[in-house]
């Protein structure tokens, strides 16, 4: 099944009202509500009401676990099985060795594209481009605190839940390729139940 544009919008933007979805997609409010009702009946979308000051509570729609499953998790079942076999037969140290090798490879691969760039925002833009190519639906924004790198999807979520060493390795890669003059920390984490992974990036004052 092709990923529906409604589901894609909820994946990348989080919970939205039917009116907001209609405006984003250029359709009528009624058309949006009918499609959302269909997705709700299929178990792809759920809703909740939220008061926002005076007036009736607004109804927000977001993806369920089944809806999120419409976005690919690369070879999830096989990957988790291989992780379990390696951990059980070779031990945790062997699994960590594999993660370390993967991390080193990632650092080299990313640096090949980021190293020619001296400007921090250019490096973040290139990192965002690489992560999007790899299926993370990445984007970044700039604000008064620095930059926010957002990954709306995790194509290795099952593996990351089975072994969070993969998440630690990714953060190490980001720190390495963005440079020693940059502070980076994870604010949101899909594995911990958040809708997305988000990283705060800021230049270190000299």
**Residues 48 and 109 both lie in one domain:** no
**Residues 118 and 170 both lie in one domain:** yes
**Residues 165 and 83 both lie in one domain:** yes
**Residues 89 and 153 both lie in one domain:** yes
Q: Tell me, what's the pLDDT at 77?
A: 67
List the chain residues with pLDDT less than 50.
1-2
**Residues 172 and 107 both lie in one domain:** yes
Q: Tell me, what's the pLDDT at 170?
A: 92
**Residues 93 and 61 both lie in one domain:** no
Looking at residue 88, which CATH number applies to its domain? 3.30.1380
Q: Tell me, what's the pLDDT at 62?
A: 86
Q: Tell me, what's the pLDDT at 206?
A: 64
Q: Tell me, what's the pLDDT at 162?
A: 79
Q: Tell me, what's the pLDDT at 99?
A: 87
Neighbours of 41 (CB within 10 A): 9
Q: How many CA atoms lie within 13 A of 171 on its CB side?
A: 18
**Full-model pTM:** 0.74
What distances in angstroms separate CA 147 from CA 15, 43, 96, 144, 192, one per listed residue?
23, 35, 31, 8, 22
Q: Tell me, what's the pLDDT at 3?
A: 52
How many domains, in total, are found in the chain? Answer: 2
Domain coverage including residue 85: 76-203
Q: Which of 68, 92, 109 is the last residue of a domain?
A: 68
**Residues 84 and 183 both lie in one domain:** yes
pLDDT digits (tens, 9 = 90+) for 80-139: 777 788 888 888 888 888 889 989 999 999 999 998 998 999 999 999 999 998 889 999
Looking at residue 39, which CATH number applies to its domain? 1.10.10.10
């Amino acid at each position: 099944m092709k990923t529906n544009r409604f589901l894609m919008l909820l994946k990348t933007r989080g919970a939205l009202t039917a009116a907001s979805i209609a405006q984003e997609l250029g359709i009528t409010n009624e058309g949006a509500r009918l499609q959302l009702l269909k997705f709700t009946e299929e178990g792809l979308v759920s809703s909740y009401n939220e008061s926002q000051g005076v007036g009736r509570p607004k109804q927000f729609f977001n993806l369920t676990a089944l809806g999120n499953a419409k976005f690919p998790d690369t070879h999830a079942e096989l990957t988790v099985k291989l992780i379990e076999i390696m951990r059980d037969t070779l031990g945790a140290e062997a699994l960590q060795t594999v993660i370390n090798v993967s991390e080193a490879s990632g650092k080299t691969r990313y640096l090949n594209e980021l190293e020619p760039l001296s400007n921090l925002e250019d490096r973040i833009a290139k990192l965002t481009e690489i992560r999007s190519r790899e299926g993370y639906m990445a984007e970044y924004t700039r604000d008064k605190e620095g930059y926010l790198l957002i990954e709306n999807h995790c194509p290795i979520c099952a593996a990351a839940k089975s072994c969070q060493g993969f998440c630690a390795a990714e953060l190490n890669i980001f720190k390495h390729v963005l440079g020693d003059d940059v502070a980076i920390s994870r604010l949101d984490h899909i594995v911990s139940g958040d809708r997305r992974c988000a990283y705060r990036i800021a230049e270190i004052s000299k």
